[in-house]
Amino acid sequence: MSEPQTAILAPLPALGRYLSFSARPQGELRAALRALAELADGERLVVGLGESLVRALGRNVPGLHSFASAVGPGLELPATPAALWCWLRGDDRGDLVHLTRKVQAAVDGALALDQVIEAFRHGGGRDLSGYEDGTENPTGDAAMEAAFVAGQGKGLDGASLVAVQQWLHDFGRFDAMSPREQDQTIGRRRSDNVELDDAPASAHVKRTAQESFEPEAFMLRRSMPWSEGVRSGLMFVAFGKSFDAFEVQLQRMIGAEDGITDALFRFTRPITGAYFWCPPLRDGRLDLRALGL
Ligand code: HEM
């Protein structure tokens, strides 16, 4: 029986590591994916395939397309597609180093590792700005319904479509705001996470309120803070049964509906953007039947 990659539903790990790969010319992609399928248990390693990789196999997955770059007033949202995305999870950094080597060895010759980003849990599930992240995530059956494909058949059901954006925070700008301005930027009070009644229309939670869309735009966010040298921010990761919820929210964030841009952009901006298909698991391994594997 097919089931989702389990970790998508699990709480955030203490440590994460994100790997992005591009396809090498003439690589043995089928062999690489078969080897990767053995490693991907859905718990320590969540795997997503980009449109270019699926197409290189001569296949097409319903709902999978590439993230399109977008602009808003003074805002740029880059598209940085990749063939393969891996989310490594654990509580020991050395284990993640070794798991990275195993993934690389599995896909060696077919896929090249282009980027490694280290991530971590902070303050029990907060963004580095100090705000709790994930509060309004659906849970239980609602999470299943929001995040996973159903009713499409074998090899497709239990899959999830993930939107990934690396956001770079500018703490100089964040620190220059008063605590009240910071709360109004998010639309919640940092001290107790209570939603503000008087939040402006630009507040992040006003822009993205999931019930306010028609149809409602629920998704499962599993973002983690990241840092590299002195740069840091949030690796925004949202799983959905399609990319629709993410896309309508992002459009509203950049002011496409009413000209009001999300106040988040006052201190942070995305520097990457990509979409992937996370296949289901079958007997504890990646189920790649949809790709003919
Ligand atoms: C640096 C980037 C971001 C930060 C720091 C951030 C932070 C937050 C925080 C603190 C909350 C309130 C607590 C919660 O319900 O989780 C929140 C809510 C939310 N965010 Fe973000 N977020 C970011 C980017 C995004 C993006 C790109 C999207 C979608 C395109 C998004 C969608 C949502 C949604 C759907 C909610 C819940 C809204 C509701 O139904 O109340 N966020 N975010």
What's the pLDDT tens digit per position in 55-74?
999 999 999 999 999 999 99
b/e burial code for range 25-54 (CB count within 10 A of at least 16 → b):
eebebeebbebbbebbebebbbbbbbbebb
pLDDT band (50, 70, 90) for residue 1: low
Instruction: Give the model's pLDDT for residue 42.
Output: 87
What's the 51 CA to ligand 1 centre distance in angstroms? 25
Ligand 1 atom 8, closest CA? 133
CA 78–ligand 1 middle distance (angstroms) = 19
- Quick check: 86 pLDDT over 70? yes
**Pocket lined around ligand 1, Cβ cut-off 6 Å:** 127, 129, 131-136, 165, 167, 186, 188, 204-205, 208-210, 234, 236, 246, 249-250, 253, 264, 268
- Residue 127's nearest CA partner among 81, 174, 83, 162 is 174
Quote the tokens at residue 255: 């002011």
Instruction: Let me know the angle formed at the C-alpha of 8 by 171 and 30, rounded to the nearest 5 degrees.
Output: 110
Which atom from ligand 1 is nearest to the alpha carbon of 219? Answer: 35
* Residue 277 CA to ligand 1 centre (angstroms): 21
Question: Is the confidence at residue 147, as pLDDT, over 90?
Answer: yes
Summarize the confidence of residues 82-107 as an average pLDDT: 98
Backbone angles phi, psi at 141, to 5 degrees: -60, -35
C-alpha 149 – ligand 1 centre gap (Å)? 22
Backbone angles phi, psi at 45, to 5 degrees: -140, 115
Tell me, in angstroms, the distance from the centre of ligand 1 to residue 139's CA.
Answer: 16
Q: Whose Cα sits closest to atom 19 in ligand 1?
A: 205
Percent of the chain beyond pLDDT 90?
Answer: 97
| pLDDT tens by residue, 216-264 | 999 999 999 999 999 999 999 999 999 999 999 999 999 999 999 999 9
Single pTM value for the model: 0.98
